[in-house]
Amino acid sequence: MALDHINDQRFSRQAMQAEYLDAETEHDLALAWRDQRDEVALHRLITAYMRLAISMAAKFKRYGAPMNDLIQEASLGLMKAADKFDPDRGVRFSTYAMWWVKASIQDYVMRNWSMVRTGSTSAQKSLFFNMRRVQAQVERDAFACGEELDGHQLRHRIASEVGVPLRDVEMMSGRLAGSDFSLNATQSAADEGREWIDTLADENSQGSDQVESDHDTRALRRWLLQAMEVLSERENFIIRERKLHDSPRTLESLGRELHLSKERIRQLEAAALGKMRKHLERHGEEVLALLL
């Protein structure tokens, strides 16, 4: 870590000693890169404005990212700007490049802030980087007016100030409240402290519930097979094709196979279900509801 800090300082000093480009030189270098892909011109252009990229990167240190990573992202943004810059538009490269540098750094910060994706829209991204500043301003204004805002009122005013839904402010407040931590971390410093993962509810069925469910399923299957024994061979075939397959067959397709009309197949199906219902009545109405 100390070596990284020394390297950061050395790199920053080198960037500060780079040449300053006047508008004409900057334009010529940008043209050479755009039209001739002159890498020497690109290197000179990037080096001249690296000091601005480093200055922008330093503004994001408060988000906890290593400075050398921020500088690297700033450099990538600077290179993207050089690749997309049109020198014929009459805009200085430094002005154009700062947007790309800032966007590159912001994307890096948000990608590494949390394992949970944060700020999927431009409005949420703006909220992420401005929420603390806006909150401080709202609190100062309220204090000046003698108001005492509770948490809900504060978040509501922030949402109104930034122009985002209240739910976005509430979500971002949680994301900014702290970084991720392992579910295997203990809840206390004690050696026998319970891990956080132990507090999660098990979504799977309990053993006793699973045994009871398996028992009921076997009983229902047995009663269903017994009920189908009272059907004729043709009725049994119709019920199996219409009720016991993942993709039930249509009345029309069964009619073609059995050389019967669609209406006749419907009548046979209804009669077969009536027989089964009568046989299953001995097991109660709940069984009828489950099977038919």
Q: What is the pLDDT of residues 37-85, one digit of tens each?
A: 999 999 999 999 998 889 888 888 877 788 888 889 999 999 999 999 9
Q: What's the confidence (pLDDT) of residue 246?
A: 79
Spatial neighbors of 172 by CB under 8 A, at least 6 apart, are 118, 119, 124, 127, 128, 131
The reported pLDDT for the residue numbered 185 is: 61
Please, what CATH class does the domain formed by 6-113 belong to? Answer: mainly alpha
Residue 259 backbone class (left: φ over 0; alpha: ψ -120 to 50; beta: rest) = left
205-260 tens-digit pLDDT: 555 566 666 776 777 777 777 888 888 888 888 888 888 777 888 888 888 888 88
Q: Which of 128, 154, 123, 119 is nearest to 140 (CA)?
A: 154
CATH tag for 216-291 (out of 1.10.10.10, 3.40.50.970, 2.170.190.11, 1.10.150.20): 1.10.10.10
> How does the average pLDDT of the chain come out, rounded?
77
The predicted pLDDT at position 238 comes to 87
Residue whose pair of structure tokens reads 């249509």 in the numeric block: 250
Q: Is the pTM of this model over 0.75?
A: no
Q: How many CA atoms lie within 13 A of 72 on its CB side?
A: 9
pLDDT surpasses 70 at 198: no
Tokens of 90: 């009459």
Question: Is residue 13 pLDDT above 90, yes or no?
Answer: no
d(CA 117, CA 62): 20
What percent of the chain lies above the pLDDT cut of 70? 73
Higher pLDDT: 158 or 80? It is 80
Cβ count within 10 A of residue 56: 21
Q: What is the per-residue pLDDT for 33?
A: 92
Locate tokens 């979504």: which residue?
203
**What dihedral do alpha carbons 224, 225, 227, 233 form, nearest 10°?**
130
Average pLDDT rounded to a whole number, residues 129-135? 75
Tell me, what's the pLDDT at 227? 80
Residue 41's pLDDT is what? 92
More confident residue, 27 or 18: 27
R_g of the chain, CA atoms, integer Å: 35
